[in-house]
Chains A and B, each alone.
Chain A
Amino acid sequence: MRGQRMNTPVSTTCAYCGVGCGVTMAKGPHGWEASGELAHPANAGRLCVKGAALGETVATGERLLKPSVEGVDADWNTAIEAVAERFSRVIREHGPNAVAFYVSGQLLTEDYYVANKLMKGFIGSANIDTNSRLCMSTAVAAHKAVLGSDTVAGTYEDLELADLLVITGSNMAWTHPVVFQRISAARQKRPGMKVVVIDPRRTATCDIADLHLAISPGMDGFLFDGLFAWLAENRFVDEEYISAHSENYPIARDDALVRFTTVADLANQCGLDANSLETFFRLFASNHRTTTVFSQGINQSSSGVDKATAILQCHLATGRIGKPGATPFSITGQPNAMGGREVGGLANQLAAHMDIANPAHHQLVSEFWQTESLATAAGLKATDLFNAVSDGQIKAIWIMATNPVVSLPDADKVRAALKLCPTVVVSDCVADTDTLALADIKLPAAAWGEKDGSVTNSERCISRQRAFLPLPGEARPDWWIISEVARAMGFGRAFDYRSAADVFREHARLSGYCNAGTRDFDISALAELSDDQYDTMVPVQWPYSTSSAGGTVRLYADGHFFTPSGKARFQSTSPRMPLSQASEAFPFLMNTGRIRDQWHTMTRTARASRLLTHVDEPFVAIHPEDLLSLGLREGQLAKLSNDLGNVVMPVRPDTGVQRGTVFTPIHWNDQFASSARVGSLTPANTDPVSGQPEYKQVAVAISQVPMRWRACLVAADKGVEPPSSDWWCRIPGDHATEWRLAGNTLVTLDALRGHLSAYADDWQTLEDKNGHHHRLVGYRDGKVTIWFAIAPEAVHADATWLGRVMAGLETAAPIALSYGRPLADTDMSALVCSCHRVRQDTLCKAIASGAGDVEKIGAQTRAGTNCGSCIPEIRSLLREHKDQEGGASA
C-alpha cells in the first residue's frame, strides 16, 4: 500500500503474460495509470496494450468482497473453519487422496508455495495441480527429460542476438507483445537477422518473418524430428559437443533417421513446399546463433513432449544451448507459471525443482518442512483430477485463481463434476466466473495491485509484485487464506507466516537446502532478505546462490546438466498426428488461442473497455472459400459442434487460416456469451507424459445457425436484463453495457418496449416494419438510458460513445442517437490501434495519402505510437496497399 501511503509511484510486475514486464503504477488525474518500468530487464520501459490498461482493471466493482458458505455471507473465521472442517472430515473418512487443490499460474510464488506445502507436506497428497498443466507442463517434461531439470537455459536477449530466430507455435505478436517488439527492434537494427515462423495460421507474428512455414496442423513434431535427422545425416551436428555433453545420441539419431526419407517427403507430409522447408533447414544448419522460441502450439498437444523434445534435441545436437543467441527458449503463457514450477505446484513435482519420486529429495523436503506426511507419489494431473472429481474419488476440491469450467478441455464434464462434488471451495478476486457459480464456499482473494509477493517470468527473472491499493472489503492474500486453513486443520506450527516475505525467505532457504550445486533452482542468496530488502528487491535471474552473485543470465553454456551423469540425454521420440482428426462427420480442425487485447477468461481484461474494442465478441475465423461452401456470410452465426458440445459464434473471413481449419479465441465464456466456451468442444486428449491437453486441434462440424433477428442493446444500467434470445454476447463498457442478441422467436416492438420500460419512460422509436428493422432509444428524466436495435442482420452501435451520451459526457442529435454513433465519425471500419482508437479506414487513408511506413503513419494518425501492439496490423495494411498499387500498375 505504498502508493496509498506515500502517494508515490509503485514498481510492480504486470499481471498478464509470461514476459513479466516491470510496471510503474502512478496515481494520475484519471485514476491509476500504468507505465513501463525503464529499469526492468524484461521490458525496459515498454508495455503492451493490456499492460497499459492495467490501471483500468483495478476498480473494485464486480469483486468478490465477502466470504460465503453455501450462499450465506460469513466472516473469515466461519469460512476458514468450514473449509478446514470439510477437508479434514473427507481426509479422515476417505484418506488424503480424496481432496485436491487446483491452483493457477496467476498465483504469486508465495501463495503457490504455501498451497503446495499444505497439500503435499501436511495433507499428505500430491493432488495439487495447476492450470500450468494446460500451458507449460509439456515444456517442463521435455526440459527434465533432455536437460535433467526444468530450466529455460536462455534469456530474452538471445532472441535479439540470434542470427536465426525460429518462432514455432506462438503468435507472440499478440500473446507476448513486448518480447515481439524487442525482436522487431533488433531485426530493424540488424537486417541480416532471419526470422522463420512455423504456424498453420498466418498470424500477426508473420509480420516480421522472412519465411512463414504454414505447416499442416499439429505436424511440428515431424518437422523438428526430420530436422534432427537431416542435421545428423548431413553432418551439421556438433559431434564434439555431443560426445562431451550428452548421452544416448546414437540411438535417438538412428531412430530419427529410420523415420526420415527426404526433405521433399517431409515437406509433403507437413503440407509444406519442399523448397521452403529446405531453406529453413539450411538456415538452421548454417546459423550457429539460432534461437528457437516455442509455446502453446507445441505444448498443447497429445504429443507435445515429443515435439518439445525434438526442438531441444536439434539444439543439443548442434551445441546451441544456453549460449548468446543460441538456445531453445520455452516462452510461458502466464505471469507466474515459472514461479509455480519452482515451488513444485504441479502434481508430479515436489518442491524447489525436486522430484516427488526421488527418495533423497523426499527425505530432504520432509526434514526441511519437519513433516512426516510428505506425499510419496505423484498426484492427479488436471484432467485426471477432474475425472476423479467426476467419479466421486475426490470429494472436496479447492480451486484458486482460475476458471477451469472455461479453460479445461471437455469443459461441460468439468462443470458437471463440480456440480456433483460435495465440497467446492473457490478463491477468486472477481464476483462472477463460471466456476464461482458452482462454489459451496467462496473466499475473496486479493487482486493484482493489492497483494505483495514475487513472480518469475519466462527468462527465470524473479520480480516483485507490490501492492499499491488497500485490500477491498474482506479480501485477503491467498497465502494468508491457505495458512489460516492450514492452522485450522491443525498444522499451525508449519504455517506461522506473518507476511509474504516470511514465505519467500522459507522458499529461498528450501531451494538452497542441501543443494551445493546439485539442483538448478537455487535462490538461497535471497534467503536472508530483511523485510525491507524484500520490499526493495530488484529483478534477478536465478540461480542466485551465494556462489552466483548477481544471478545467472544463461545456464548450461558449460555443457554441464543436472542429470546424475551431468550430461544431457537424447530421447527417442515418436512424432504423432493430433489425436483429433477431421472426418466426414467433423470435417474441420479447430485451432484455439489468444487474441491481442484479452487475457484468459476475461475476468480482468473485460473490465478495461478499451481492451474490448479490438475484438469485442467471440468469433470463428474461417477461410473465405470455406465460408462460401458453408453458405455463410461475415457476421452470421455458425455452430461448431462435435460429440462433446457445441458453441455458436459469428464468423469472420480470414485468409490466414488454412482451408479446412478454423480459429477461435479461448477467452469467451458464460459470463460474456451464451455459447462460446470452446473448451466444451475440446476432448481431453492429453500428452501421456505431461498430461497437457491438445487444445490446438479439435475436429468439429460447422453449420449455419439461421436467426430471424439480430439485436443490440446498450444500457447505462449494467444490470440490465436483456430481452430473451437464442444467442447473446455481453460487452461491458465504462458507462454502459452492450448486449448483442439473436433469436428466432418473433418479438413485437410493443413487447420490447414493455420489457425495457423498467429502464426508461419516454421513447424514440424507429420503425421499418417491412425491413424488420426497429430501434428504441429510451429516456428517463430527459436522459438517454437505453438503446436497442433489432434487424435481420447484425446491428452494430458505438457503445462506447452511447455510454458517454448516457453519462452526459457527449451530446447527441436525435439522428445520431438512433444511428448509435456520432455521424461525423464515418469510419466504422475495424479498430486497429486500441490505445489511440484509430480505425482501419483512417489508416488506409493515411497510407493512400503517402504515409509509407509505420513511423509516418504514427506521426499522422498516432496509431501504433503507444504500445505498438498494432504495428503488425499496420504493416499488413501497408503491404496490402503496396500489393494493390503493384496490381494497378501491372
Chain B
Amino acid sequence: MKPRLIIIGNGMAATRLLSEIYALCDDTFRITVIGAEPEPGYNRVLLSRLLSGEIEPGELVTHELQWYADKGIELITNTRVTEIDRNHRCITLDGSRQIFYDQLVLATGARPFLPPVAGLDLQGVMTFRDMEDCRKIHEKAGNGMRVAVIGGGLLGLEAAHGVNQLGAKVAVVHNADWLLNRQLDAPAAALLQSSLESRGIEVHLGARLASIKGDSDGTVNGIVFENGGSLDCEAVVLATGITPNKELAEQCNLRTNRGICVDGWLRTDDASIYALGECAEVGGHCIGLVEPAWQQASVLAQVLSGNLPQPWQPQPVPTQLKVSGEAVFSAGIIDDQRAESLTLHDPVAGHYRHLLVRNQLLVGTVLYGDTDDGHFYHDLMRREVSIKPIRQHLLFGPQACGVSA
C-alpha cells in the first residue's frame, strides 16, 4: 500500500503542489485533498476580474473535478478539518470522519483580517476573498448603491474597482497617508489616486475605521471614523489584510508565530507535517501573493519526493494591481531611507518611476503608468546586477541600457 499524503486546503498553493508532484511523475502517494470551499481548484487572483464582470466564473477554474479523478486524487470539498492528532497521524473531518496520514501538508491559506470594530455583524458587511464573497458582493452592490471599501491595499483597490464597475458608488477608506502604501511611494500613489478618482472612486486617506453603523433592521447605513467623521453607505467591503489560518496547527501544538513556522523546505517541527502558502511562515516571512506560494509548491513537491532542493527563500516579488487601465508595478524594498533614489515623475503624462539603489544594486522598483519595463528591473534585482555602468540610462529601461527587451 502506498503511503497516504493528505493536503488540507484546496487553494492555489495546494493545487499547484499537486501539479508539481505530477510534474515530477511522483507516484509515491495516495493523495487526499480536503477543501473547505465547494469548488475544485480555481484562480483566486482573478476574483477581482470576476467581480468587475470582465470574466465569467468558469474561466477561474484551474483544476476540474475530472482532473482529480484522472489522477486518482481523492477530493473532499465543502469540508473542514477540525482536528489533527499527531500521535496517531490522524485528522478529523467536520468532527466525525477520521483519516490517517503518512505525510500531511497544511495549505489552509488565510482569511480576511477583520478589524476589531462594532458592526461587523450587520447586513451588508462583506469581505473579498473567495467565490462566495464575490457572489455576495454581486448581489448587494447594485447600481447606484453606496459602498465603502475599507482598505486601500491591492485587494481593496481591486474590490473597489470591481464594485465601481458594477455601477456602485465606491469610497475607498484607507488608514495610511497614501494608497498601496506597502507597494508605492507617495508620488506614484498620488498619480494612481487621481486616476481612480477620475473613474469616480472616492478616496479617504488617513481614515481609521471606528465602527460600522446600522439601521434598526440590522442593515449597514454608514461608517464612523476615529476622528469622528462619518460616511453614509449601504454596504461595506472589508479588505484590511489577511490572517493566516494557523489554528489547526496551534491546536496540535505545532510551532506557530504569525503563521505556521516552517523551514526553507517547508517542514514544520513535526517531521511528517509541512505547511505552505499563506498559512506558512518561513524565517519570519508570511506571504500574501501567489508567486512565492508557487515557488514553495515547487520546493515542497521535491521534498516530498525525497529530494533536497535549494531551500525556499523570500525574494523580491513584483506586485501588480489587477485593475484594468491602471499600470502599477512594485518590487523589492521601496522605503529604504539609506537607498539612493532615481526618480522620473511626469504628472502631465501620468507617469512615474522610482528606482532604489544600494551599493550599486537595484533593490526596489516602483513604476506607474508604463510598467512594461518591470520585468527588466525585477531581473536586475533578482540577478543582483551592478547598475554602475548603466546608471545614467537606468530609468529609461532595457533598450536604453543596451539590453534587448
Q: Which residues of A contact B (CB under 8 A)?
A: 762-771, 773, 775, 777, 779, 782, 791, 793, 795, 813-819, 823-824, 826
A777 to B348, CA, bound (A): 10
Centre residue among A769, A815, A819 by max chain B CB count within 10 A: A815
Q: A815-B351, A816-B396, A819-B393 are in contact. List 5 more A-B contacts (CB 8 A).
A: A765-B343, A766-B343, A768-B342, A771-B391, A815-B397
From DSSP, what is the main secondary structure of chain A's interface residues? mixed
Q: A767-B343, A769-B341 are in contact. Are A819 and B392 (CB under 8 A)?
A: no
Q: A823-B397, A823-B400 are in contact. Are A764 and B340 (CB under 8 A)?
A: no
Q: What is the total number of residues of chain B having a CB less than 8 Å from a CB of chain A? A: 25
Centre residue among A768, A775, A791, A817 by max chain B CB count within 10 A: A768
From DSSP, what is the main secondary structure of chain B's interface residues? mixed
Point out the residues of chain A lying under 8 angstroms from B399, CB to CB. Answer: 823-824, 826
B349 within 8 A of A: yes
Shortest Cβ distance from residue A706 to the other chain B in the assembled complex, whole angstroms: 19
Point out the residues of chain B lying under 8 angstroms from A769, CB to CB. Answer: 340-341
Shortest Cβ distance from residue B287 to the other chain A in the assembled complex, whole angstroms: 31
Point out the residues of chain B lying under 8 angstroms from A770, CB to CB. Answer: 340-341, 357
Q: A766-B343, A771-B342, A791-B392 are in contact. Are A814 and B349 (CB under 8 A)?
A: yes
B145 within 8 A of A: no
User: Are A814 and B392 touching (Cβ within 8 A)?
Assistant: no
Mask of B364-405 contacts with A, CB within 8 angstroms, 1/0: 000001100100000000000000000111011101101000
Among candidates A791, A818, A824, residue contacting B396 with C-beta atoms closer than 8 Å: A818
Question: Of all chain B residues, which has the CB nearest A775?
Answer: B344
Point out the residues of chain A lying under 8 angstroms from B340, CB to CB. Answer: 768-771
Q: Across chains A and B, which 8 residue pairs bring their CB atoms closest together, nearest first? A: A764-B346, A814-B351, A770-B340, A819-B396, A814-B349, A768-B342, A814-B346, A766-B344
User: Are B370 and A813 touching (Cβ within 8 A)?
Assistant: yes
Point out the residues of chain B lying under 8 angstroms from A771, CB to CB. Answer: 340, 342, 391-392
User: Are A777 and B346 touching (Cβ within 8 A)?
Assistant: yes
Q: Which chain B residues (223-262) contact chain A, with CB distance < 8 Å?
A: none
Question: Of all chain A residues, which has the CB nearest B351?
Answer: A814
Question: Of all chain A residues, which has the CB nearest B387?
Answer: A771
A816 to B372, CA, bound (A): 13
B38 within 8 A of A: no
Shortest Cβ distance from residue B392 to the other chain A in the assembled complex, whole angstroms: 6
User: Are A818 and B392 touching (Cβ within 8 A)?
Assistant: no
Q: Would you give 11 A-B contacts (Cβ < 8 Å), ordered by A?
A: A764-B344, A765-B343, A765-B346, A766-B343, A768-B391, A769-B341, A771-B391, A815-B373, A818-B344, A819-B393, A826-B402
User: Are A766 and B392 touching (Cβ within 8 A)?
Assistant: no
A177 to B29, CA, bound (A): 83
Mask of B37-68 contacts with A, CB within 8 angstroms, 1/0: 00000000000000000000000000000000
Point out the residues of chain B lying under 8 angstroms from A765, CB to CB. Answer: 343-346
Shortest Cβ distance from residue B151 to the other chain A in the assembled complex, whole angstroms: 30
A762 to B348, CA, bound (A): 7
Point out the residues of chain A lying under 8 angstroms from B344, CB to CB. Answer: 764-767, 775, 814-815, 818
A41 to B222, CA, bound (A): 93
Question: Of all chain B residues, which has the CB nearest A812?
Answer: B349
Among candidates B342, B347, B357, B392, residue contacting A762 with C-beta atoms closer than 8 Å: B347
Q: A762-B348, A815-B370 are in contact. Are A767 and B396 (CB under 8 A)?
A: no
Question: Of all chain B residues, which has the CB nearest A768?
Answer: B342
Among candidates B345, B347, B369, B396, residue contacting A823 with C-beta atoms closer than 8 Å: B396
A765 to B347, CA, bound (A): 9
User: Are A793 and B342 touching (Cβ within 8 A)?
Assistant: no
A626 to B346, CA, bound (A): 44
A770 to B355, CA, bound (A): 12
Question: Of all chain B residues, which has the CB nearest A770?
Answer: B340
A823 to B395, CA, bound (A): 12
User: Are A773 and B369 touching (Cβ within 8 A)?
Assistant: no
Shortest Cβ distance from residue A712 to the other chain B in the assembled complex, whole angstroms: 12
Point out the residues of chain B lying under 8 angstroms from A764, CB to CB. Answer: 344-349, 351
